[in-house]
Protein backbone atom coordinates (compact mmCIF):
# COMPACT_ATOMS: atom_id res chain seq x y z
CA UNK A 1 0.00 0.00 0.00
CA UNK A 2 1.12 3.57 -0.65
CA UNK A 3 -0.22 6.20 1.74
CA UNK A 4 -0.09 9.45 -0.21
CA UNK A 5 -0.86 11.71 2.75
CA UNK A 6 0.17 11.52 6.39
CA UNK A 7 1.61 13.65 9.19
CA UNK A 8 4.09 11.53 11.15
CA UNK A 9 5.75 14.70 12.42
CA UNK A 10 2.57 15.31 14.49
CA UNK A 11 2.85 15.26 18.30
CA UNK A 12 0.53 12.26 18.34
CA UNK A 13 3.53 10.17 17.27
CA UNK A 14 6.08 11.58 19.73
CA UNK A 15 6.15 8.46 21.88
CA UNK A 16 6.71 5.85 19.16
CA UNK A 17 7.31 7.56 15.78
CA UNK A 18 10.36 5.58 14.59
CA UNK A 19 9.24 2.21 15.97
CA UNK A 20 5.83 2.66 14.37
CA UNK A 21 7.23 3.59 10.94
CA UNK A 22 9.63 0.67 11.11
CA UNK A 23 6.74 -1.67 11.90
CA UNK A 24 4.55 -0.26 9.13
CA UNK A 25 7.22 -0.94 6.52
CA UNK A 26 8.30 -4.32 7.80
CA UNK A 27 5.04 -5.96 8.85
CA UNK A 28 1.96 -3.92 7.91
CA UNK A 29 2.19 -4.00 4.14
CA UNK A 30 3.07 -0.33 3.70
CA UNK A 31 5.45 0.33 0.80
CA UNK A 32 5.61 4.11 0.80
CA UNK A 33 4.28 7.12 2.71
CA UNK A 34 4.20 10.76 1.68
CA UNK A 35 4.57 12.99 4.72
CA UNK A 36 3.05 16.41 4.07
CA UNK A 37 4.46 19.65 5.41
CA UNK A 38 2.19 22.40 6.76
CA UNK A 39 4.77 25.11 7.43
CA UNK A 40 8.56 25.41 7.39
CA UNK A 41 9.04 23.44 10.60
CA UNK A 42 6.89 20.46 9.57
CA UNK A 43 8.34 20.55 6.05
CA UNK A 44 11.82 20.20 7.57
CA UNK A 45 10.54 17.40 9.83
CA UNK A 46 9.06 15.65 6.78
CA UNK A 47 12.43 15.78 5.02
CA UNK A 48 14.12 14.44 8.14
CA UNK A 49 11.74 11.45 8.22
CA UNK A 50 12.31 10.92 4.49
CA UNK A 51 16.05 10.83 5.08
CA UNK A 52 15.65 8.28 7.85
CA UNK A 53 13.27 5.88 6.10
CA UNK A 54 13.59 4.65 2.50
CA UNK A 55 9.81 4.39 2.21
CA UNK A 56 9.05 7.92 3.41
CA UNK A 57 8.86 10.78 0.91
CA UNK A 58 8.29 14.43 1.75
CA UNK A 59 5.98 17.13 0.48
CA UNK A 60 6.84 20.67 1.52
CA UNK A 61 4.78 23.83 1.71
CA UNK A 62 2.32 25.94 3.66
CA UNK A 63 -1.09 24.68 4.72
CA UNK A 64 -3.73 27.46 4.44
CA UNK A 65 -4.29 27.44 8.22
CA UNK A 66 -0.62 28.31 8.65
CA UNK A 67 -0.80 31.45 6.54
CA UNK A 68 0.17 33.65 9.52
CA UNK A 69 3.51 31.87 9.76
CA UNK A 70 4.45 32.69 6.18
CA UNK A 71 7.46 34.86 5.49
CA UNK A 72 9.68 35.27 2.43
CA UNK A 73 12.83 34.03 4.14
CA UNK A 74 11.24 30.72 5.17
CA UNK A 75 9.69 30.40 1.72
CA UNK A 76 13.18 30.53 0.22
CA UNK A 77 14.11 27.60 2.44
CA UNK A 78 11.01 25.69 1.28
CA UNK A 79 12.03 26.39 -2.33
CA UNK A 80 15.53 25.09 -1.66
CA UNK A 81 14.08 21.87 -0.19
CA UNK A 82 12.47 21.10 -3.56
CA UNK A 83 15.80 20.00 -4.96
CA UNK A 84 16.20 17.36 -2.22
CA UNK A 85 15.92 13.88 -3.82
CA UNK A 86 13.21 12.72 -1.36
CA UNK A 87 11.03 15.82 -1.76
CA UNK A 88 8.48 14.82 -4.36
CA UNK A 89 5.64 17.34 -4.10
CA UNK A 90 4.52 20.77 -2.92
CA UNK A 91 1.93 20.35 -0.18
CA UNK A 92 -0.19 20.52 1.51
CA UNK A 93 -1.44 23.76 0.00
CA UNK A 94 -4.90 25.14 -0.62
CA UNK A 95 -7.73 26.96 1.10
CA UNK A 96 -9.63 26.30 4.33
CA UNK A 97 -12.64 28.41 5.26
CA UNK A 98 -13.86 25.96 7.89
CA UNK A 99 -11.49 26.93 10.69
CA UNK A 100 -10.39 30.33 9.45
CA UNK A 101 -12.38 32.49 7.09
CA UNK A 102 -11.35 36.02 8.02
CA UNK A 103 -8.12 35.77 6.05
CA UNK A 104 -9.40 34.58 2.68
CA UNK A 105 -7.32 37.02 0.66
CA UNK A 106 -4.08 36.04 2.40
CA UNK A 107 -4.91 32.36 1.92
CA UNK A 108 -5.60 32.87 -1.78
CA UNK A 109 -2.38 34.81 -2.33
CA UNK A 110 -0.33 32.12 -0.60
CA UNK A 111 -2.09 29.39 -2.56
CA UNK A 112 -1.33 31.13 -5.87
CA UNK A 113 2.28 31.67 -4.88
CA UNK A 114 2.75 27.96 -4.24
CA UNK A 115 0.95 26.95 -7.44
CA UNK A 116 3.27 29.27 -9.35
CA UNK A 117 6.19 27.54 -7.69
CA UNK A 118 4.78 24.19 -8.84
CA UNK A 119 4.60 25.44 -12.42
CA UNK A 120 8.16 26.79 -12.25
CA UNK A 121 9.60 23.61 -10.78
CA UNK A 122 7.31 21.08 -12.52
CA UNK A 123 6.42 19.51 -9.15
CA UNK A 124 3.07 17.88 -8.40
CA UNK A 125 0.89 19.51 -5.73
CA UNK A 126 -1.20 18.13 -2.86
CA UNK A 127 -4.34 20.20 -2.37
CA UNK A 128 -6.28 20.77 0.83
CA UNK A 129 -9.77 22.18 0.31
CA UNK A 130 -12.36 22.68 3.02
CA UNK A 131 -15.63 24.63 2.72
CA UNK A 132 -14.33 26.72 -0.16
CA UNK A 133 -14.81 24.65 -3.29
CA UNK A 134 -15.76 27.51 -5.64
CA UNK A 135 -12.79 29.71 -4.70
CA UNK A 136 -10.46 26.72 -4.76
CA UNK A 137 -11.53 25.65 -8.25
CA UNK A 138 -11.32 29.20 -9.56
CA UNK A 139 -7.68 29.39 -8.50
CA UNK A 140 -6.58 25.85 -9.31
CA UNK A 141 -7.99 25.93 -12.83
CA UNK A 142 -5.83 28.98 -13.61
CA UNK A 143 -2.70 26.85 -13.48
CA UNK A 144 -1.37 24.09 -15.63
CA UNK A 145 -0.21 21.85 -12.78
CA UNK A 146 -0.68 18.20 -11.92
CA UNK A 147 -1.59 16.88 -8.54
CA UNK A 148 -4.12 15.47 -6.17
CA UNK A 149 -7.02 16.71 -4.08
CA UNK A 150 -6.35 15.01 -0.77
CA UNK A 151 -9.17 13.78 1.52
CA UNK A 152 -11.58 14.77 -1.20
CA UNK A 153 -15.11 15.31 0.12
CA UNK A 154 -16.60 17.29 -2.76
CA UNK A 155 -19.51 16.38 -4.97
CA UNK A 156 -19.43 14.20 -8.06
CA UNK A 157 -19.85 17.35 -10.18
CA UNK A 158 -16.72 18.90 -8.66
CA UNK A 159 -14.86 15.62 -9.08
CA UNK A 160 -15.78 15.62 -12.76
CA UNK A 161 -14.41 19.14 -13.30
CA UNK A 162 -11.14 18.15 -11.66
CA UNK A 163 -10.85 14.83 -13.47
CA UNK A 164 -11.41 16.56 -16.81
CA UNK A 165 -8.41 18.73 -16.02
CA UNK A 166 -6.19 15.77 -15.18
CA UNK A 167 -6.35 15.87 -11.39
CA UNK A 168 -6.09 12.82 -9.15
CA UNK A 169 -8.48 12.27 -6.25
CA UNK A 170 -7.50 10.73 -2.93
CA UNK A 171 -9.69 9.03 -0.34
CA UNK A 172 -9.00 8.67 3.38
CA UNK A 173 -10.86 6.60 5.99
CA UNK A 174 -13.98 8.80 5.71
CA UNK A 175 -15.17 6.60 2.82
CA UNK A 176 -15.75 3.86 5.41
CA UNK A 177 -17.88 6.05 7.71
CA UNK A 178 -21.55 5.21 8.02
CA UNK A 179 -22.67 8.72 7.00
CA UNK A 180 -20.32 8.94 4.00
CA UNK A 181 -22.25 10.06 0.93
CA UNK A 182 -19.99 11.97 -1.46
CA UNK A 183 -16.89 9.87 -0.76
CA UNK A 184 -18.83 6.65 -1.44
CA UNK A 185 -20.26 8.07 -4.69
CA UNK A 186 -16.87 9.33 -5.83
CA UNK A 187 -15.02 6.18 -4.83
CA UNK A 188 -16.97 4.47 -7.60
CA UNK A 189 -16.99 7.42 -10.01
CA UNK A 190 -13.27 8.26 -10.14
CA UNK A 191 -11.61 6.34 -12.99
CA UNK A 192 -9.00 3.68 -12.42
CA UNK A 193 -6.06 5.83 -13.50
CA UNK A 194 -6.82 8.71 -11.07
CA UNK A 195 -7.72 7.14 -7.75
CA UNK A 196 -5.43 7.31 -4.73
CA UNK A 197 -5.73 6.41 -1.05
CA UNK A 198 -4.33 8.02 2.06
CA UNK A 199 -4.72 8.10 5.83
CA UNK A 200 -4.14 11.77 6.79
CA UNK A 201 -2.66 10.18 9.92
CA UNK A 202 -3.10 10.82 12.79
CA UNK A 203 -6.62 11.88 11.71
CA UNK A 204 -9.59 10.31 9.87
CA UNK A 205 -9.12 6.70 10.97
CA UNK A 206 -11.24 4.20 9.05
CA UNK A 207 -14.17 2.33 10.56
CA UNK A 208 -14.11 0.28 12.83
CA UNK A 209 -11.26 2.25 14.42
CA UNK A 210 -12.75 5.72 13.92
CA UNK A 211 -11.59 8.09 16.66
CA UNK A 212 -8.42 6.14 17.39
CA UNK A 213 -5.01 7.53 16.35
CA UNK A 214 -4.56 6.73 12.68
CA UNK A 215 -1.54 5.18 11.00
CA UNK A 216 -0.86 3.89 7.50
CA UNK A 217 -1.64 0.31 8.55
CA UNK A 218 -5.33 1.23 8.88
CA UNK A 219 -5.42 2.18 5.21
CA UNK A 220 -6.25 -1.44 4.44
CA UNK A 221 -9.83 -0.80 5.64
CA UNK A 222 -10.13 2.11 3.22
CA UNK A 223 -8.78 0.05 0.30
CA UNK A 224 -11.01 -2.87 1.29
CA UNK A 225 -14.10 -0.63 1.31
CA UNK A 226 -13.36 1.07 -2.03
CA UNK A 227 -12.50 -2.28 -3.66
CA UNK A 228 -15.82 -3.66 -2.45
CA UNK A 229 -17.68 -0.60 -3.81
CA UNK A 230 -15.96 -0.99 -7.19
CA UNK A 231 -16.47 -4.74 -7.27
CA UNK A 232 -12.77 -5.61 -7.52
CA UNK A 233 -10.34 -7.38 -5.19
CA UNK A 234 -8.25 -5.71 -2.50
CA UNK A 235 -5.08 -6.68 -4.38
CA UNK A 236 -6.35 -5.16 -7.61
CA UNK A 237 -7.17 -1.80 -6.02
CA UNK A 238 -3.92 -1.87 -4.08
CA UNK A 239 -2.02 -2.32 -7.35
CA UNK A 240 -4.04 0.41 -9.09
CA UNK A 241 -3.46 2.97 -6.33
CA UNK A 242 0.24 2.11 -6.09
CA UNK A 243 0.69 2.54 -9.84
CA UNK A 244 -1.12 5.88 -9.73
CA UNK A 245 0.96 7.16 -6.81
CA UNK A 246 4.20 6.13 -8.53
CA UNK A 247 3.17 7.85 -11.77
CA UNK A 248 1.95 11.11 -10.19
CA UNK A 249 4.82 11.54 -7.74
CA UNK A 250 7.52 9.85 -9.86
CA UNK A 251 8.39 7.54 -6.97
Phi-psi sector, 177: left (phi>0), alpha (psi -120 to 50), beta = beta
Smallest gap, in angstroms, from Cβ of residue 249 to Zn ion? Answer: 15
Helix, coil or strand: residue 69: helix
To Zn ion, the closest distance from the beta carbon of 58 in angstroms equals 13
Q: H or E stretch including 173?
A: none
- Mapped onto helix, strand or coil, the DSSP state of residue 232 is coil
Least Cβ distance, residue 233 to Zn ion (angstroms): 28
Provide, rounded to whole angstroms, the least separation between the CB of residue 10 and Zn ion. 9
Q: Which is nearer to Zn ion, 20 or 126 (CB)?
A: 126
Give 3 or 200: the residue with its C-beta nearer to Zn ion. Answer: 200
Residues within window 152-211 making contact with Zn ion, judged by CB under 5 A: 200
Cα distance between residue 217 and residue 43, in whole Å: 23
Mask: binding to Zn ion, 100-129, rule CB under 5 A, as x and -? ------------------------------
Packing angle, helices 182-189 and 219-230, rounded to 10 = 60
DSSP state string for 189-223: HS-TTTEEE---BTS-PPTTSTTSPP-GGGHHHHH
Q: Are 12 and 203 in contact (CB under 8 A)?
A: no
Count, residues near Zn ion per rule CB under 5 A:
1
Q: How far is the CB of 6 from Zn ion (least distance, A)?
A: 8
Q: Using the minimum distance from each CB to Zn ion, give the nearer residue, 183 or 227.
A: 183
- Which residue, 200 or 238, is less far from Zn ion as judged by CB? 200
Nearer to Zn ion, 214 or 227 (CB): 214
Q: Which residues contact 122 (CB under 8 A, 6 or more apart)?
A: none
Q: Residue numbers of the site for Zn ion (CB under 5 A)?
A: 200
Amino acid sequence: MIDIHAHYDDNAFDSDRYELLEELFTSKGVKAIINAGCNLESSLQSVKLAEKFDGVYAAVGYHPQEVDLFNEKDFETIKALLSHPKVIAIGEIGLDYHWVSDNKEQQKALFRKQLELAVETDMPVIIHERDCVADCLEIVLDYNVRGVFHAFSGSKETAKILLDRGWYISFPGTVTFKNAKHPVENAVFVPEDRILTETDSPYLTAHPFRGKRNDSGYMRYTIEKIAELRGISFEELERITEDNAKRLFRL
